[in-house]
Each structure stands twice: as C-alpha cells, then as structure tokens.
C-alpha cells in the first residue's frame, strides 16, 4: 500500500467537504488504487473556527506556504479561491515537483496558461475538474475523450448561484436579494457574490472551457459578460407569458475567422430567454447543464450539481485520486500545447432579442418604432402591446440580427419622444435547433 500525504489549502465549503468525503471513501480509494490518502496538513485563515470535522486539530495552521514547501507533503489541493496567494502557492508547489488540484476558476481563467506550462515543464499534474460546473465531469471528458474532436460549440448553465436565484424568483416569486442570501447560506456563492451575479464566475468558467475545448488560450478578459442583477420579476413573468424561462447562459463557439496560427472564438455569458421546451429551461436550482456540439460526436449533454461544498468535493476527490495514481505510476496528464486564439467581438455576433418599451399609447407610435427597427435592418418576429394609456408597454422579439445593429436600434429608440423607457433587452435562444 502506498501512502500519500495531502496538503489542503483552504477548508471552507469545498475543503471541509473534501475532508469529510475522503474520511468516508478512504477505504474504497485504497482498495481500488492501492493508495492510502491522508490529509496531513490544512491551511486556513483562522484555526479557532469550529468546522464540524473529525480530524486532529493539530493538522491546521495559517501558513499555506509552509505546507507547500514541506517535503513530507506529496500532493497539494488548493481551495482558497482568488488570485493571490493561490497563484504563488500553486507555482511553488509545481516548482517543487508536487501535483496540484484546484477548484479555482478565477485563477485559471486569468493565469491558466502560465500554470499549465509550468506543470508541463515540471512533469506534474495540474487538475481542475471542480473549477467548471462543480460536480459535473466536464474537463476530463474534454481533455481526454474529446481530445481529437472538432468541438464547435459549448453552451450551458455554469453558475449554480444565479440558476438558484432565477429558479426561486420564477417559481415562488422570491425577490432577488432574498434568493441571493439563500444561495450564500447554502454554500453556492463565491466569497464576493458579485462574481456570480455579474457573470464573472460564469465568464471564468467559459474561458476555461474554451481553452480546453479549442486548445487555445482564452482568458477571462476575452469573455463578454452580462449578469442577472438587473433581471426583474416582471421580466420573468413576461418571459413566461411568451413561453420562455429566463436563464443565465454561457456560450463558447468556434467562429469562421480562424487562421493557421489558431482558431477564432466567441465567448459570452448573459441572461437569455430559453423556450420552455428547451432542455436548459428545466435545469433548476444549483444544477448546471452543458451541451457540447462536436463535429463527429454530435450533441452531448452534461448535467449535475454545479455548486455546493459536498458535490464540488466529489470532483476534487476524483482529481486527487487521479493525481495520486499518476504520481505513483509516474505518468502525469498533460493539457497539451495551447495556441493563441482570435476573439470575435460581441458586436459581430448574431442573436434574437426580446425588447420591452414603455411608450405613449397613441396613433403613429408603433409606426415610428417599427421604422427605427427597419432602418437598422432588424426584423421583428413578434410584437405585443400590454396595458393602455400611460402604462402601455410594447414587447418585441426580433429575428436573428447583428448585435451592433440591435445596439444602434436601441440608441435611436431612446431618442424617440414617444418612447418613455427602453427596458431590459434579453437575448433569446432560438426555437429552430433545440440545443442552440
């Protein structure tokens, strides 16, 4: 029996979940792999906190760097989050020849290329299954099973907090702040939940997915993102009446402008109206779901818990076992050579849009509004009027059009005397292909 000593950096939602899960599964792991994993040291901010774990209090300390440099530690697991000190700690662990496992999407979406290269040079594992979509096996299928697949598009729900909030708002009319606070207490949200609700967390995950799927360097700053904080109960109700659910989606796709050096890709995160019959519309609470569209395999769908300490710990433990097996057999996995990516601007992308306008209810208004759409080449698929007099609202759904034309339309609509307000504009996932 090989015995490996694990240094755990961070013991919050995910770290504590890992300690408890490994306690339950240690014997099974040992039988299957011949390796006994021991969490030998744990770094936290406060050693005084009661974490409800049955582990020797002497393993806790506040000096993560000391754990990384400890020659008795074989594998490092980082679940602190954020850029620093996580980045330096992982770099030092890799430089010391230790395999590392992390759930840190923010770090990988900003400094992944540097860390992947360091791990490749050092010949050690850098595993990060838990960084995208929590418990769902997604990175390993992309890295291994789909390594030779010409992946065209990845689309899905990759943030559990926002999916939980939107579910609670649409199913029981919960207000936004109340639903966010529940998501925080359930351990779904990031330390600063702005990362979730403004789309940074999903953007980081989309960048990582694009990097792994397209073999090209895509960073958080390449991702266009809009959050859900401006979505109201009225938007959700209007979407329902029109046959849609409001979801926060992430899309990473290969576009037509690649060159010999690397692919052109478009990566974005935004709220979207999803037809109720679309599989994503029924993904509730903290669950995530991701479609991968390949050139040969066709459509694949991955579904499961996208957040929460214990589900995420499941993905971390899977990586830890993999790293342990690779360490004892001397064969680390590699991400492979990454090429530069060209990023297509959001202005050039096409979508259908939902637009709500508060207008004066009098003759000629609809004609003047329709004229603005027409001048910018934006074709209207459907239109409804709700309310009368001062409360009149016009609701449009467009055919697919270019983002820059839509933005020009909105600018001109705001300039019309009869338009009191341009409300939320939400992209619409089309009916034509149920997975797009």
Question: Which sequence positions are flagged as catalytic?
Answer: 205
Sketch the per residue contact string, 114 through 153, with ligand NDP: x for CB under 6 A, - otherwise: ----------------x---x-------------------
Nearer to ligand HSE, 155 or 428 (CB): 155
Rounded to 5 degrees, φ, ψ at 423 are: -80, -155
Binding region for ligand NDP (CB under 6 A) out of 23-31, 43-51, 138-146, 212-220: 43-51
156 binds, among ligand HSE, ligand NDP, none (CB under 5 to 8 A by kind): none
Quote the least distance from Cβ 319 to ligand HSE, whole Å.
Answer: 14
Q: What is the DSSP string of 176-208?
A: HHHHHHHHHHTT-S-SSTHHHHTTHHHHHHHHH
Burial classification of residue 110, based on how many CB atoms lie within 10 Å of its CB (0-12 exposed, 13-18 middle, 19 or more buried): middle
Binding of residue 188 to ligand HSE (CB under 6 A): yes
H/E stretch holding 171: helix 160-172
| Residue 423 touches which member of ligand NDP, ligand HSE, none, C-beta under 5-8 Å by kind | none
β-pair type (262-275, 419-428): parallel
Distance CA 334, CA 116 (A): 8
Which DSSP string corresponds to 55-80?
Answer: S-GGGEES-HHHHHH-TT--EEEE-S
- x/- map, 64-83, ligand NDP, by CB under 6 A: x--------------xxx--
Q: Is 190 in the site for ligand HSE (CB under 6 A)?
A: yes
CB of 244 to ligand NDP, least distance (A): 27
When asked if residue 167 is in the footprint of ligand HSE (CB under 6 A), the reply is no
CB 309 within 8 Å of CB 14: yes
Residues 256-295 that bind ligand NDP (CB under 6 A): none
C-beta atoms surrounding 391 within 10 Å = 9
Segment interacting with ligand HSE (CB under 6 A) among 80-88, 188-196, 238-246, 275-283: 188-196
CB 67 within 8 A of CB 41: yes
Q: Provide the minimum distance between the beta carbon of 64 and ligand NDP in the complex, in angstroms, as a whole number.
A: 4
Q: Output the CA angle 336-78-216, nearest 5 degrees.
A: 25
Which one of ligand NDP, ligand HSE, none interacts with residue 196, CB within 5 to 8 A by kind?
A: ligand HSE
Query: In angstroms, rounded to a whole number, what is the distance separating the alpha carbons of residues 390 and 134?
Result: 47
Encoded tokens for 379: 């074709």
Among 10, 15, 156, 160, which residue interacts with ligand HSE (rule: CB under 6 A)?
160
Min dist. Cβ of residue 14 to ligand NDP (A): 4
Give the binding-site size for ligand NDP (rule: CB under 6 A): 30
Q: Which does 159 bind (CB under 5 to 8 A by kind): ligand NDP, ligand HSE, none?
A: ligand HSE
State the binding partner of 49 from ligand HSE, ligand NDP, none, CB within 5 to 8 A by kind. ligand NDP
Q: Which does 228 bind (CB under 5 to 8 A by kind): ligand HSE, ligand NDP, none?
A: none
The residue count for binding ligand HSE (CB under 6 A) is 11
Contact yes or no for 187/308 (Cβ under 8 A):
yes
Task: Confirm or reject binding of residue 46 to ligand NDP (CB under 6 A).
Answer: yes
Q: Please pick, from the candidates 17, 99, 112, 134, the single residue that binds ligand HSE as defined by CB under 6 A.
A: 134
**Of 77, 96, 59, the residue nearest 7 (C-alpha):** 77
Q: Smallest distance, Å, CB 228 to ligand NDP?
A: 17
Q: How far is the CB of 162 from ligand HSE (least distance, A)?
A: 7
Nearer to ligand NDP by Cβ, of 263 and 309: the residue is 309
307 is an interface residue for ligand NDP by CB under 6 A: yes
Q: Is 49 in the site for ligand NDP (CB under 6 A)?
A: yes
Using CB under 6 A, which of 33, 102, 104, 159 touches ligand HSE?
Answer: 159
Residue with tokens 């995910």: 14
Residues 132-149 as b or e (16 or more Cβ within 10 Å = b): bbbbbebbbbbbeebeeb
Output DSSP code: residue 285. T
**Residue 423 near ligand HSE by CB under 6 A:** no
Query: Tokens standing for 417?
Result: 């005397």
Q: Mind giving me the DSSP string for 241-276?
A: HHTEEEEEEEEEEEEEEEETTEEEEEEEEEEEEEET
Question: Which residues sit at the interface with ligand NDP, rule CB under 6 A?
Answer: 9-15, 43-46, 49, 64, 79-81, 85, 103-105, 130, 134, 187-188, 190-191, 307-309, 312
């Amino acid at each position: 029996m090989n015995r490996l000593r694990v240094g755990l950096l961070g013991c919050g939602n995910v770290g504590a979940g890992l300690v408890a899960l490994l306690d339950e599964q240690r014997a099974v792991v040992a039988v299957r792999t011949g390796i006994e994993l021991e969490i030998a040291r744990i770094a936290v901010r406060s050693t005084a906190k009661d974490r409800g774990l049955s582990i020797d209090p002497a393993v806790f300390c506040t000096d993560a760097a000391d754990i990384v440099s400890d020659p008795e530690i074989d594998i490092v697991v980082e679940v602190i989050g954020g850029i620093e000190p996580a980045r330096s700690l992982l770099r030092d662990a890799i430089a010391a020849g230790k395999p590392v496992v992390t759930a840190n999407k923010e770090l990988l979406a900003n400094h992944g290329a540097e860390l992947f290269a360091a791990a490749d040079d050092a010949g050690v594992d850098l595993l990060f299954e838990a960084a995208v979509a929590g418990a769902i096996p997604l990175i390993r299928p992309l890295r291994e099973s789909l390594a030779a697949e010409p992946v065209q598009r990845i689309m899905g729900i990759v943030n559990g907090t926002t999916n939980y909030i939107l579910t609670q708002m649409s199913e029981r009319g919960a207000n936004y702040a109340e639903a966010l606070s529940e998501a925080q207490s359930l351990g779904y949200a990031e330390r600063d939940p702005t990362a979730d609700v403004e789309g940074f967390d999903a953007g980081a995950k989309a960048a990582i997915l694009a990097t792994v799927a397209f073999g090209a360097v895509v960073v958080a700053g390449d991702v266009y993102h809009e959050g859900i904080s401006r979505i109201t109960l009225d938007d959700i109700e209007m979407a329902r009446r029109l046959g849609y659910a409001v979801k926060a989606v992430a899309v990473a796709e290969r576009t037509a402008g690649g060159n010999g050096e690397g692919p052109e890709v478009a990566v974005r995160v935004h709220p979207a109206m999803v037809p109720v019959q679309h599989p994503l519309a029924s993904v509730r609470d903290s669950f995530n779901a991701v479609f991968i569209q390949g050139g040969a395999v066709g459509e694949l769908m991955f579904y499961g818990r996208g957040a929460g300490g214990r589900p995420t710990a499941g993905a971390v433990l899977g990586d830890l076992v993999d790293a342990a097996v690779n360490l004892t057999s001397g064969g680390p996995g590699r991400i492979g050579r990454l090429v530069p990516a060209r990023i297509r601007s959001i202005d050039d992308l096409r979508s259908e849009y939902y637009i709500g306008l508060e207008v004066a209810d009098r003759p000629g208004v609809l004609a003047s509004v329709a004229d603005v759409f027409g001048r910018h080449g934006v074709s209207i698929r459907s239109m409804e009027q709700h309310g009368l007099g001062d409360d009149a609202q016009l609701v449009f759904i467009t055919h697919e059009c270019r983002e820059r034309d839509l933005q020009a339309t909105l600018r001109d609509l705001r300039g019309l005397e009869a338009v009191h307000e341009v409300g939320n504009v939400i992209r619409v996932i089309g009916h034509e292909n149920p997975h797009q």
